[in-house]
């Protein structure tokens, strides 16, 4: 039995890690957050529904079910794992293809324990977080799912993992170690307790922001202190001033979770844009404030990926008062600068010429971009002010797809630009738009980070 044990645990690890990868993978309908206006109504709340079902619709938003099961709950979104894709299932009330035969007790077991009536679920479904979901919320969710239009079709794709990964009961062993993934803290105000419940049990923020331990469970000692996420990095969101979000006010956190933007400080791209687009922008002010209030009191963890505070005096001003919104002025100015620096010629490898040739058509000569065309301003963003340039280098190499399907995408430059050129642009962006006094990323650093 011993050798098998090793294979199995390796297997469990990779499957368990799938929850982390979910968001970078589940992308067919995703987008850039720029210009997403705060949702004015809850799309899933209907006057036809009972109060209980409408409360359930709101809980489905707070628990981000749509991000993985699609907006119509028909399923089929791939959750990438190192050993193969796990696909979300149809959770509409179809008796044949969905969860129409579930009783409330089954529903509760699926959410809290990962037990479907006939099989054990993989933790790609975040039941370790939903484990702490309140009974009243589960009842409301169950009432809501009865009102969802049934989809009488199986998802386009279903999970087929090779032996022995297809033995779902192995998950039971993993569960003993890792469920539940968080414990409630003592001494919180009522608002903070609500925030704790939202952050840990509904929104499952930790599935991305908390690093994993050896068995791929969430490492409670490093709660919310930042974790790699495929080609992205979910940063430290504990209240440490240097490496976390200690300098953000509660109001800043609320604004960011509502809109994905915090002027000259943060912009939500990639997986975070999805969490905001599908979930947090729909939340009530009260709930966003509760999360912000809780995030201000979680244990402070200092990490080595610290952040230079925005030094407003080092950040550039827009080139003129009109250029950010006047696209023609912006285009003319770019053409002028390009000929002045000879940008685009094969011989000019100066950092500014490279930036003008590769980036400025979208992000502007001055970094303030074109908000009207939904391109992100990059001035002062936390992702370009970190001591570790990894996040910025990954974005330059692999691009970023926005979180709503009308949003523009940023192309990746890993094929077009050499490591030395990516290093050069990285340094240029960090110093000129991030306010860093200096930046010395080398071609070798880029090579190591993209490996």
Site for ligand HEC in 217-236 (CB under 6 A): 229, 232, 234-235
Token match 């797809």: residue?
A: 401
Complex with ligand HEC: residue 12 or 234, whichever CB lies closer: 234
Which of 16, 273, 343, 449 lies at the binding interface for ligand HEC (CB under 6 A)? 273
Burial class (CB in 10 A: 0-12, 13-18, 19+), 35: middle
The two three-digit tokens of residue 85, written as one number:
């894709």
Which of 12, 36, 57, 68 lies at the binding interface for ligand HEC (CB under 6 A)? 68
Do the Cβ atoms of 214 and 10 come closer than 8 Å? no
Site map for ligand HEC, 10-29, x if CB under 6 A? ---------x--xx------
Do the Cβ atoms of 140 and 59 come closer than 8 Å? yes
CB of 57 to ligand HEC, least distance (A): 11
Complex with ligand HEC: residue 1 or 424, whichever CB lies closer: 424
Complex with ligand HEC: residue 245 or 310, whichever CB lies closer: 245
Which stretches does DSSP call E strand in 112-155?
none
Do the Cβ atoms of 108 and 135 come closer than 8 Å? yes
Site map for ligand HEC, 104-133, x if CB under 6 A? ------x-----x----xx-xxx-------
Which of 39, 42, 297, 362 lies at the binding interface for ligand HEC (CB under 6 A)? 362
Do the Cβ atoms of 27 and 399 come closer than 8 Å? no
Site map for ligand HEC, 245-264, x if CB under 6 A? x-------x--x--------
Cα 273 to Cα 261: distance, rounded to the nearest angstrom: 10
The two three-digit tokens of residue 404, written as one number:
């709503």
CB of 187 to ligand HEC, least distance (A): 21
Q: Is 119 annotated as a binding residue?
A: no
Which of 25, 140, 165, 208 lies at the binding interface for ligand HEC (CB under 6 A)? 208
Site for ligand HEC in 302-361 (CB under 6 A): 358-359, 361
73: left (phi over 0), alpha (psi -120 to 50) or beta: left
DSSP-assigned beta bridge partners for residue 409: none
Complex with ligand HEC: residue 2 or 16, whichever CB lies closer: 16
The two three-digit tokens of residue 412, written as one number:
């990746």
Q: Is 359 annotated as a binding residue?
A: yes
DSSP state of 298: S
Q: Is 209 annotated as a binding residue?
A: yes
Which helix H or strand E contains 414, and what residues bound it?
none
CB of 2 to ligand HEC, least distance (A): 27
Complex with ligand HEC: residue 179 or 272, whichever CB lies closer: 272
Do the Cβ atoms of 200 and 132 come closer than 8 Å? yes
| Residue 239 neighbours by CB distance under 10 Å | 18
Residue 210 to residues 121, 182, 204, 217, 372, Cα–Cα distance (Å): 22, 11, 10, 10, 35
Site for ligand HEC in 408-447 (CB under 6 A): 408-411, 413, 425, 429
The two three-digit tokens of residue 357, written as one number:
């040739």
Complex with ligand HEC: residue 98 or 323, whichever CB lies closer: 98
Complex with ligand HEC: residue 27 or 215, whichever CB lies closer: 27
Site for ligand HEC in 152-191 (CB under 6 A): 159
CB of 47 to ligand HEC, least distance (A): 22
DSSP state of 122: P
CB of 15 to ligand HEC, least distance (A): 9
Complex with ligand HEC: residue 321 or 385, whichever CB lies closer: 385
Which of 12, 21, 99, 298 lies at the binding interface for ligand HEC (CB under 6 A)? 99
Do the Cβ atoms of 165 and 84 come closer than 8 Å? yes
Coil, strand or helix: which one is 222? helix
DSSP-assigned beta bridge partners for residue 410: 400
CB of 164 to ligand HEC, least distance (A): 15
Complex with ligand HEC: residue 318 or 408, whichever CB lies closer: 408
Complex with ligand HEC: residue 1 or 163, whichever CB lies closer: 163
Contact status: 148 vs ligand HEC (CB under 6 A): no
Burial class (CB in 10 A: 0-12, 13-18, 19+), 200: buried
Cα 185 to Cα 271: distance, rounded to the nearest angstrom: 28
Q: How many residues belong to the site for ligand HEC (CB under 6 A)?
A: 77
Cα 443 to Cα 445: distance, rounded to the nearest angstrom: 5
**Listed ranges 1-9, 186-194, 327-335, 400-408: which one lies at the site for ligand HEC (CB under 6 A):** 400-408
Q: Using alpha carbons only, give the angle 87, 233, 362 rounded to the nearest 5 degrees.
A: 100
Which of 64, 80, 137, 445 lies at the binding interface for ligand HEC (CB under 6 A)? 64
């Amino acid at each position: 039995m011993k050798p098998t044990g090793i294979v199995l645990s390796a297997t469990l690890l990779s499957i368990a890690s799938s929850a982390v990868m979910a968001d970078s993978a589940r992308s067919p309908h995703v987008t850039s957050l720029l210009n997403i206006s705060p949702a004015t109504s809850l799309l899933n709340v209907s006057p036809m529904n009972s109060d209980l079902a409408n409360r359930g619709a709101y809980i489905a938003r707070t628990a981000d079910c749509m991000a993985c099961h699609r907006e119509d709950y028909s399923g089929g979104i791939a959750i990438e794992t190192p050993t193969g894709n796990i696909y979300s299932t149809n959770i509409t009330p179809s008796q044949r293809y969905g969860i129409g035969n579930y009783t409330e007790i089954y529903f509760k077991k699926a959410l809290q324990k990962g037990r479907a009536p006939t099989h054990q679920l993989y933790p790609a479904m975040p039941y370790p977080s939903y484990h702490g979901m309140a009974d009243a919320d589960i009842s409301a969710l169950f009432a809501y799912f009865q009102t969802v239009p049934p989809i009488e079709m199986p998802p386009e794709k279903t999970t087929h993992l090779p032996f022995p990964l297809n033995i779902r009961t192995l998950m039971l062993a993993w569960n003993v170690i890792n469920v539940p993934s968080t414990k409630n803290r003592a001494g919180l105000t009522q608002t903070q307790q609500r925030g704790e419940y939202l952050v840990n049990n509904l929104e499952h923020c930790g599935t991305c922001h908390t690093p994993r331990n050896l068995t791929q469970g969430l490492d409670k000692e490093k709660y919310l202190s930042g974790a790699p996420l495929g080609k992205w990095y979910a940063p430290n969101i504990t209240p440490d001033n240097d490496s976390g979000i200690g300098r953000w006010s509660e109001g800043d956190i609320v604004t960011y979770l509502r809109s994905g933007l915090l002027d000259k400080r943060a912009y939500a791209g990639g997986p975070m844009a999805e969490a905001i687009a599908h979930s947090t922008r729909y939340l009530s002010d009260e709930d966003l404030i509760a999360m912000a209030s809780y995030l201000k009191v979680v244990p402070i963890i200092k990490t080595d990926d610290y952040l230079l505070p925005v030094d407003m005096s080092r950040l550039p001003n827009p080139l003129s008062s009109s250029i950010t919104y006047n696209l023609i002025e912006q285009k003319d100015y770019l053409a002028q600068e390009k000929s002045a620096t000879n940008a685009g010629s094969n011989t000019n490898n100066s950092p500014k010429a490279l930036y003008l040739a590769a980036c400025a058509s979208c992000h502007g000569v001055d970094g303030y971009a074109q908000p009207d065309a939904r391109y992100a301003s990059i001035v002062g963003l936390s992702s370009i002010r970190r001591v570790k340039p990894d996040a910025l280098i990954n974005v330059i190499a692999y691009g970023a797809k926005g979180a709503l399907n009308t949003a523009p995408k940023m192309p990746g430059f890993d094929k077009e630009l050499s490591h030395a050129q990516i290093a050069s642009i990285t340094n240029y962006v960090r110093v000129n738009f991030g306010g860093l006094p200096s930046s010395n990323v080398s071609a070798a650093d880029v090579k190591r980070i993209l490996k």
